[in-house]
């Protein structure tokens, strides 16, 4: 089954954690959402596909614009919340975007961090392309390299000394940073027959805590994201050391209860 590992992961504790932290996640990603939706600009009368719609914020924005939205995701827990937020204004479908087909086609396809997890991205984007109407377009956000994302790299470097040595990871393996290489990303989209591909760098601020300081940001980092995944399999004593290391690396970024670190994304646009 394509993307089997991702399907299992997002229907287990990862999906449940995103549901539990939905309000925090939406607030933290507000600048990403603004960048994405400003460029996507959904309009009344359009049919819009939201890939990896998660807990539904981007789908709700599309529905508020008067467009007809279908949100697809592989995570049952996240889709349940997305449908609750959408109500009768939109539809959610549990499906893998690499295989999902809609015979009516879409004027616009969007995604906020939902396209980096495919086992075969070239085949997945070819399938996505086939769902666009003539003249349709795709707009999505994905992460740039970890080294450009302080909110990821600084916590990870803090906990790395307490982790066992692991083999060098494939930077193109399914995961948050799988599409970080813009040259490779452009080639994938062109292979999928997308036209007029634009890959725009956008710098953002990732607010890990709005008022709760380091404690709030620690809560997030140990529940969701690469650092949380790295810590999950450690024993309690090691986790305690990791917590202390995280606290030390985050303290310089706290100001009046707010903790913010640099983030870096691509906003990608292409035509059918």
pLDDT at 10: 73
Could you read off the pLDDT tens digit of each residue along the chain, which spans 272 residues?
567 778 787 777 777 888 888 988 899 999 999 999 999 999 999 999 999 999 999 999 999 999 999 999 999 999 999 999 999 999 999 999 999 999 999 999 999 999 999 999 999 999 999 999 999 999 999 999 999 999 999 999 999 998 888 777 788 999 999 999 999 999 999 999 999 999 999 999 999 999 999 999 988 888 887 888 888 888 999 999 999 999 999 999 999 999 999 999 999 999 99
**CB–CB of 171/180 below 8 Å?**
yes
In the block, residue with structure tokens 């709030």: 216
pLDDT at 225: 79
CB atoms within 10 A of CB 242: 23
For domain 4-145+170-205+263-271, the question of CATH label 3.40.920.10 is answered with no
pLDDT at 227: 85
Distance CA 58, CA 51 (A): 10
pLDDT at 1: 58
**CB–CB of 141/32 below 8 Å?**
yes
pTM of the predicted protein model: 0.92
pLDDT at 2: 65
Q: Please give the span between the terminal C-alpha atoms of the chain, in angstroms, as a whole number.
A: 27
């Amino acid at each position: 089954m394509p993307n089997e590992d991702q399907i299992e992961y997002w229907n287990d504790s990862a999906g449940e954690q995103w549901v539990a932290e939905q309000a925090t996640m939406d607030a933290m990603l507000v600048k990403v959402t603004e960048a994405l939706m400003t460029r996507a600009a959904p309009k009344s009368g359009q049919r819009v596909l939201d890939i990896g719609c998660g807990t539904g914020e981007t789908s709700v924005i599309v529905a508020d614009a008067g467009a007809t939205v279908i949100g697809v995701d592989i995570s049952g827990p996240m889709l349940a919340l997305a449908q609750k937020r959408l109500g009768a204004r939109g539809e959610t479908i549990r499906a893998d975007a690499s295989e999902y087909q809609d015979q009516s086609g879409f004027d616009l396809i969007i995604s906020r961090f939902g396209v980096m997890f495919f086992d075969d991205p070239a085949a997945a984007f070819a399938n996505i392309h086939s769902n666009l109407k003539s003249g349709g377009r795709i707009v999505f956000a994905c992460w740039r390299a970890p080294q450009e994302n302080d909110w990821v790299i600084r916590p990870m470097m803090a906990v790395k000394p307490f982790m066992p040595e692991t083999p060098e990871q494939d930077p193109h393996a399914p995961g948050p940073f799988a599409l970080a290489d813009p040259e490779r990303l452009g080639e994938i989209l062109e292979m999928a027959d997308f036209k007029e591909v634009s890959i725009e760098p956008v710098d953002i601020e990732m607010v890990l805590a709005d008022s709760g300081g380091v404690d709030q940001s620690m809560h997030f980092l140990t529940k969701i994201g690469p650092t949380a995944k790295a810590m999950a399999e450690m024993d309690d004593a090691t986790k305690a050391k990791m917590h202390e290391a995280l606290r030390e690396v985050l303290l310089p970024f706290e100001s009046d209860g707010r903790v913010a670190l640099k983030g870096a994304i691509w906003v990608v646009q292409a035509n059918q």
